[in-house]
Amino acid sequence: MNKQYYLGHVRKDDPLYDYLRHEIQPLINEASKQRPEYRVFRLNASNDVFLYEEKYSGAKIIGKFFLCSQNRDAEKATERLNREFDSLCALRDCGLTGYPHHVARPLGRNYALNALLVTENCEGELLSKVILAAIHNGEQEQLYRKLTALGYFLATLHNRTTAGGRTDFNHNCNYMDQLISKLMRIGAIRQDEASELHWLRDQWRQQARMWEDQKVLVHGDATPDNFIIGSGLNITGFDLERSHCNDRVFDVGRLAGELKHFFLRATGDRQAAEPFIGHFLWEYSCHFPNRDSAFRSITGRIPFYMGITLLRIARNSWVSREYRRCLINEAKACLRRY
């Protein structure tokens, strides 16, 4: 999975040790005759996420603390913990287990331990690594194959979780407002640019197609670091704390926007990702009764979701001033395609 940093062992007087030993360990393997020892590795993730490896059995699990340095609000931490745990269970209940579609198995949640979620550890290569190999090592065919698999995974996730009722596009307009406000606060855009973005938002709000599709359960953070690539069509999804009911293109557009970002950042070429984005959308569309109709519907909505994805990336502190301007310009170019 992500890059790992060895930190040491879980102390035996730590309440976490007893929880792992007595509540989690029996779910993943038979009890060892020896008293377990848990090695701890920090993962390169946005929350406080750790890999725990039992020394004698080699069993590995993932622990994600929602009450952490980035989030000190206990109520919000509990809400996010419950949302991710429940979403993982719901998707597994829909059959996303094993090959070819797999969602990480939740093993437990503990509110007292800083809102801890424990899941199985899923081995494999992150999609982000496959994208970088296509860019830097010429492994484009591998990326095409894995985008086919991801399109299949997301279509299955969405088609099995139809929530009933039409998409409420206002929620996505409100999310765009949050992104604009953030970019204003950090000085990334001027007032005239914010006004233009608000105007573009309203043009999209007036498009009937943005309201017509049925709501589905979306992953909510469909970025290349949240999918593990296996053999053949195998895809594993994880990190579902932002899962919610929305337009299916929320996920599809997020991934398309991320592809554009990866290629743009590495090559400076605005068009470099287009063949891969088109392939991904075409492969996603093949899992509907009328592929051509589905493709037209999705491509009609996707510029909005790509645009807000690029704005979302632009607000990050690690983005350079020059590249942030490039992302904002690309976002506006997408949003002007209403």
Give the mean model confidence (pLDDT) for residues 151-160.
Answer: 98
| Protein fold of 4-120 | Phosphorylase Kinase; domain 1 (3.30.200)
206 pLDDT above the threshold of 90: yes
For residues 246 and 215, the answer to whether their CB atoms sit within 8 Å is yes
Nearest alpha carbon to residue 287 among 299, 295, 297: 295
Give the mean model confidence (pLDDT) for residues 274-302.
Answer: 98
- Which CATH superfamily is 125-335 part of? Aminoglycoside phosphotransferase (APH), C-terminal lobe (3.90.1200.10)
1 pLDDT above the threshold of 60: no
Q: What is the pLDDT of residue 46?
A: 60
For residues 238 and 103, the answer to whether their CB atoms sit within 8 Å is yes
How far are the Cα atoms of 166, 217, 235, 293 from residue 162, in angstroms, in the given order?
10, 7, 21, 19
For residues 315 and 327, the answer to whether their CB atoms sit within 8 Å is no
Which residues of the chain does CATH 3.30.200 include? 4-120
- pLDDT tens track for 37-87: 999 999 876 668 999 999 988 999 999 999 987 888 999 999 999 999 999
- pLDDT tens track for 20-37: 999 999 998 765 668 899
SS3 246: strand
Cα–Cα dist 330/242, whole Å: 25
Which residues of the chain does CATH 3.90.1200.10 include? 125-335
For residues 320 and 185, the answer to whether their CB atoms sit within 8 Å is no
For residues 228 and 1, the answer to whether their CB atoms sit within 8 Å is yes
For residues 262 and 224, the answer to whether their CB atoms sit within 8 Å is yes
Quickly state the pLDDT bin for 200 (edges 50, 70, 90). Answer: very high
Q: What is the pLDDT of residue 27?
A: 92
Of the chain, the percentage scoring pLDDT greater than 70 comes to: 97
Q: What is the pLDDT of residue 3?
A: 67
